A and B are shown apart, each in its own frame.
Chain A
C-alpha cells in the first residue's frame, strides 16, 4: 500500500526501502527522537521528503492533491487537537473538515462508547483530561471512516487497562472494516500482541522489519 524508496528528510530520516501492507496493523517502534512521528507526518503529507519517493497505492504522493490524500489517510497526533466547542462539535469537526455528511447523534454516541468515553455530547471538551481528549480525537477520526489510520502514540495518556481496551477495539474495527492501521507506539507489548508488521526505527533508519502475523501462522 505504502512504498518508500530512498526517502530522506533533513537529517532526521533516511529510509532506503520500506513497504507497508494494506489492511494490516503496522506498529512503528523505536526510542523517542528516532523519527517515528516524522514518518507518520510524511505519510499524511503534512510534510514532504527532501529526496526519494513515497507511493500510496502505486501513486506518488507528490502527485496526489494533499487535501484528498489527508481525507483518506487521516492522522491522529500525539497531542490531540481539541477545538473550541463541546464534545459533539469536536466529534463532527473531522467530517466538516473533510466535507463529509454530518452523522446522527446516535452514531456519535456509539463512537463515544467505542473509545470508552462516558461523557454527554453536550459536555464541554476543554475540561477533559489528557487521556480523554486523546480518545475524543480518536473517536473523531473513526467517524471519518478513512482508508488508513495514522496514529501517533494513541494510548500514551491512558492507563494500561484503558489502553488495552481501546487498542483492542481499534484493531477489531480495522480488521472488520478492511482498513489499514499504522500506529507509533512506545509499548513493545502492544506491538507484539496486535501488530501484523513491526517497523523498528533507530536514528532515522529502519533497524528492523518484522512480519509478526506470518510468524504467528507458521
Chain B
C-alpha cells in the first residue's frame, strides 16, 4: 500500500474550479444563488482549516481534559443545531430532554465503542476519540431532529385523538403510543436505509477516507461495519431516551394534555 498524495497549494486551488463552474452556471441561468454559494464555499474552507489545526494541536498534545472539552463542544453544537433544525416551537422541558438524551445516548455508545470494540489506549486518544465521537454525535443529531419533529407535530395535529383516548381512561403513555412509535420509526429509518445501500449505492465517507490514506480496504470495511453498527446503536438509544421522556412533557401531573395557552 502506498501512502496518500499530499495536495500542493496549486492543486487545492485547481479544485476550486468546480465552484467557479457552478457559479458560471447559476449566473448564466439567472438563478440568484451566487452569494450563498460564495459564502458556503468560504465557510467550508475556513471551518475546515480551523478544525484541521485544532486537530493537529490535539493530536500533538493528547490530554484527557482537551479531549473531553472537544467532546462537550461537539455536544453543545449538536444540541443547538437540533433546536434550529426543528422548525416547531419547543418547550424548555423538551429542550432539556433533547440535551439529556443526546449526552447520555451518544456518550454511552461512544465509550462502549472505543473501550470495548476498538480498545483504544489511552482511553482519550484523540486520533480515535474525536472522529468517532463526531460520527456518532452527527448521526444521532440527525435522527433525533426527525424524532422531535414527528413527536411535536404529532402531538399538535393529533391532539383530538390523544384527548379522545384520555377521555376513555387511557394513560398518557397509551394515548400517545402511536405518535411515540411513529417518531421513533422515522428517526431510525435513515440509518437503516443507509445500511441497506452501503457498499453498493455509495461508499461511506470514513471507508473512502481510510482507503485513500493507504489503509487496506479490508481494514477499512472492518471499521466501516463497526462504526455503522455503533451509529445505529447510538441513534436508537438517543431517540428512545428522547421519546420515552419527551412525550411526558405534553401532559401535566393530573394526566391532562398541556395546551398552548397554558
Contact = CB atoms under 8 A, between A and B. Distances in A.
Interface of A: 44-48, 62, 66-68, 70-71, 74-77, 79-81, 83-84, 93-94, 96-99, 140-141, 144
Given A71-B168, A84-B178, 17 more contacts: A44-B167, A66-B254, A67-B169, A67-B171, A68-B169, A70-B168, A70-B169, A74-B168, A81-B163, A83-B161, A94-B168, A96-B174, A97-B165, A97-B170, A97-B175, A98-B168, A144-B168
B86 to A, nearest CB: 25
A134 B233 CA distance: 44
B160 A81 contact: yes
B192 to A, nearest CB: 23
A68 B132 CA distance: 49
Interface string B147-174: 0000000000000110111111111001
A46 B256 contact: yes
Scoring B165, B169, B256 by chain A CB atoms within 10 A of each residue's CB, the highest score goes to: B169
Contacts of B68: none
9 contacts: A46-B166, A66-B255, A67-B170, A67-B171, A74-B169, A81-B163, A83-B161, A94-B169, A97-B170
A74 B170 CA distance: 11
A160 to B, nearest CB: 27
Interface of B: 160-161, 163-171, 174-175, 178, 254-257
Nearest to A95: B168
B256 A141 contact: no
A98 B56 CA distance: 61
A85 B200 CA distance: 38
B256 A66 contact: yes
A50 to B, nearest CB: 11
Contacts of A144: 168-169
Contact of A45 (B165, B170, B174, B254): B254
B164 to A, nearest CB: 2
B256 A97 contact: no
Contacts of A67: 169-171, 255
B154 to A, nearest CB: 13
A46 B163 contact: yes
A83 B169 CA distance: 15
Contacts of A81: 160-161, 163-165, 167
Contacts of A46: 163, 166-167, 256-257
Identify the 7 closest CB pairs spanning chains A and B, nearest first.
Answer: A81-B164, A71-B169, A97-B170, A98-B169, A75-B167, A66-B255, A70-B169
Contact of A77 (B163, B170, B171): B163
Contact of A48 (B163, B166, B256): B256
A48 B169 contact: no
A88 to B, nearest CB: 16
B174 A97 contact: yes
Contacts of B163: 46, 77, 81
A131 to B, nearest CB: 17
Nearest to B259: A47
Contacts of A84: 178
Contacts of B256: 45-48, 66
Scoring A47, A62, A66 by chain B CB atoms within 10 A of each residue's CB, the highest score goes to: A66
A76 B178 CA distance: 21
B168 A141 contact: yes
Nearest to A72: B169
Contacts of B174: 96-97
Contacts of B175: 97
